[in-house]
Amino acid sequence: MSLFVMGDTHLSLGVPAKSMEIFPGWEDYHTKIRDHWLKHIQPEDMIILAGDISWGMSLKEAEPDFAFLENLPGQKIILKGNHDYWWNSMKKMTEFFQANGFDSLHILHNNCYAYEQIGICGTRGWVNMPGESADAKVLAREQQRLRTSLQAAVRQKLKPLVFLHYPPVYWGSQNALLLEVLHEFQIKDCYYGHLHGKTHAKATKGIYDGICYHLISGDYLQFIPEKIL
């Protein structure tokens, strides 16, 4: 049993016009995701998909992408990205997955999941990148969601690992509210996606202020799921 992570699959089987293949490094990416996944992940494994799962604008439109994931081995923990427009209430998403037999898909939202003695925690985060305006209300809400997720792990006596979509530290810019929570819970490893192409070079990777940051965007990993444990 192993734990993997990958972000930004940007699946577009339900909306082919939104395919990422127009961008360098994304050629035939659906096939790459499938082939690398089948090579590395076994049915007993777990993988965290750190946001930007599907380009579908609704649950129904994203259904072919969920079916694609369901047909791959392992349990999948899904958190929200900035392009997951299909995202809905926890109740509606859970009911949709159940109704369509997507039994291996699980939503990470104000909760945590156990992997052995590890607590899988996280939230989307929010913008902290130069040139993008931050929304104080959204930032405060994301801070509380991360804290709620981590508190759930602590209650279960699990060692928390944090998965975000947005980078909490990026090229000299910091998301102070999320960093406050990471340090409050003494987090040692934080995994994030969102960054593509040339922005990979500006990503924070390795130890920064006592936390080890891991970039796990799909194109950065060349669509090979990264093994954590």
- Phi, then psi, of 168 in degrees rounded to 5: -75, -20
What confidence score (pLDDT) does residue 129 get? Answer: 60
Q: Which two tokens stand for residue 67?
A: 């079916």
pLDDT of residue 173: 85
Question: Which token pair is 114?
Answer: 């156990």
CA separation for the pair 113, 156 (Å, rounded) = 10
Give the integer Cα–Cα distance in Å for 101 and 77. Answer: 16
pLDDT of residue 204: 94
Where do the H-state alpha helices sit in 28-117?
29-40, 59-70, 90-99
Residue 149's pLDDT is 98
Residue that is written with structure tokens 């090579």 in the block: 39
Beta bridge partners of 212: 189, 207
- Nearest CA to 97 out of 73, 55, 69, 119 is that of 69
CB burial string 47-56: b at 16+ within 10 A, e below:
bbbbbbbbbb
Domains annotated for the chain, with CATH where assigned, are 3-227 (3.60.21.10)
Which residue ranges in the chain fall short of pLDDT 70?
128-134
Residue with tokens 């090979």: 224
- pTM value is 0.95
